[in-house]
A and B are shown apart, each in its own frame.
Chain A
Amino acid sequence: MAISEAVGQRPFVRAPRRGVATRLLEDERWLAAALLLPTVVLLGLFIAYPFIEGVLLSVTDTKVGIPGHFVALQNFIALWHDSIFGTAVWNTFVYTAVATVFKLALGLWLALLLNRHFRGKAFTRAFILLPFIIPTVLSTFAWKWMFDPTFSVINWSLFQLGLIHGRINWLGDPNLALISVIIVNVWRGVPFFAISLLAGLQTINPELQEAAAIDGARPWQRFWHVTWPLLLPVTMVVVLFSVIQTFADFQLVYVLTGGGPANATQLFATYAYQVGVGTGLLSEGAAISLAMFPFLLIVVVVQLLYIRRVEVH
Chain B
Amino acid sequence: MIEGAKWRRWVYFYIPLGGFVFWLLFPFYWMLVTSIRPDRELYRPWMAPNYTPFWTAHPTLVHIMDLLTETLFTRWMLNTLFIAIVSTVISLFCGVFAGYALSRLKFPFAGSLGAGIFITYLVPQTLLFIPLADIIRNFHLGDTPWALILTYPTFLIPFCTWLLMGYFKAIPRELEECARIDGATRWKAMLYIIIPIAVPGIMSAGIFAFTLSWNEFIYALVFLSSAEQKTVSVGVTSELVRGDVFYWGQLMAGALLGSIPVAFIYSFFVEHYVAGLTGSVKG
**A residues with CB within 8 A of B:** 22, 25-26, 28-29, 31-33, 35-36, 38-40, 42-43, 46-47, 49-51, 53-54, 56-57, 106, 109-110, 113-114, 116, 118, 122, 124-131, 133-139, 141-143, 145-146, 150-153, 155-157, 159, 167, 187, 190-192, 195-196, 199-200, 234, 237-238, 241, 244-245, 247-251, 254-255, 268-269, 272-273, 276-277, 282, 285-286, 289-290, 292-293, 296, 300
Contact = CB atoms under 8 A, between A and B. Distances in A.
Interface stretch (B45-53, B62-70, B198-206): B45-53
Interface in B227-265: 232-234, 236-237, 248, 251-252, 254-256, 258-259, 262-263
Contact of A28 (B2, B20, B105): B105
Contacts of B172: none
Contacts of B46: 150-153, 155-156, 159, 167
Contacts of A56: 131
A135 B30 contact: no
Interface residues of B, number: 97
Contacts of B51: 156
Of B2, B42, B131, the most chain A CB neighbours within 10 A belong to: B131
12 contacts: A35-B101, A36-B97, A46-B154, A136-B233, A138-B255, A145-B30, A150-B45, A151-B43, A167-B47, A196-B278, A237-B281, A289-B126
Nearest to B158: A43
Top 3 nearest A-B pairs (CB, nearest first) are A248-B124, A199-B278, A269-B126
Of B51, B54, B108, B129, the most chain A CB neighbours within 10 A belong to: B129
A184 B245 CA distance: 23
A309 B150 CA distance: 37
Contacts of B17: 110, 113-114, 124
Given A49-B135, A53-B134, A142 B24 contact: no
B217 to A, nearest CB: 5
A128 B262 contact: no
Contacts of B150: 42, 46
B25 interface: yes
Given A42-B154, A129-B266, A234 B282 contact: yes
Contacts of A245: 124
A272 B64 CA distance: 35
Given A43-B117, A237-B281, 13 more contacts: A42-B90, A46-B151, A46-B154, A51-B123, A114-B17, A127-B24, A134-B263, A136-B215, A137-B234, A142-B252, A143-B27, A145-B248, A145-B252
Contacts of A40: 113
Contacts of B34: 142, 145
Contacts of A109: 16, 20
Describe B's contact surface by its main secondary structure. Answer: helix
Nearest to B29: A142
A138 B236 contact: yes
Contacts of B102: 36
A247 B154 CA distance: 19
Interface string B51-87: 1011000000000000000000000000000000000
Contacts of B236: 137-138, 141
B40 interface: no
A192 B212 CA distance: 14
A286 B131 contact: yes
B277 interface: yes
Nearest to B151: A46
B7 interface: no
A33 B267 CA distance: 38
A151 B251 CA distance: 15
Given A196-B277, A244-B122, A135 B100 contact: no
B186 interface: yes
A184 to B, nearest CB: 9
A298 to B, nearest CB: 13
Contact of B100 (A35, A38, A187, A191): A35
B31 interface: yes
Given A135-B214, A151-B46, A196-B278, A29 B107 contact: yes
A135 B47 CA distance: 31
Interface in B25-41: 25, 27-28, 30-31, 34
Interface in B125-144: 125-135
Contact of B127 (A195, A196, A254, A290): A290
B97 A196 contact: no
B130 A57 contact: yes
A32 B107 contact: yes
A43 to B, nearest CB: 5
B88 interface: no
Contacts of B169: none
Contact of A141 (B134, B217, B251, B263): B251
Nearest to B150: A46
Contact of A289 (B90, B127, B157): B127
A135 B215 contact: yes
A43 B263 contact: no
Nearest to A126: B270
Given A47-B123, A153-B30, A57 B131 contact: yes
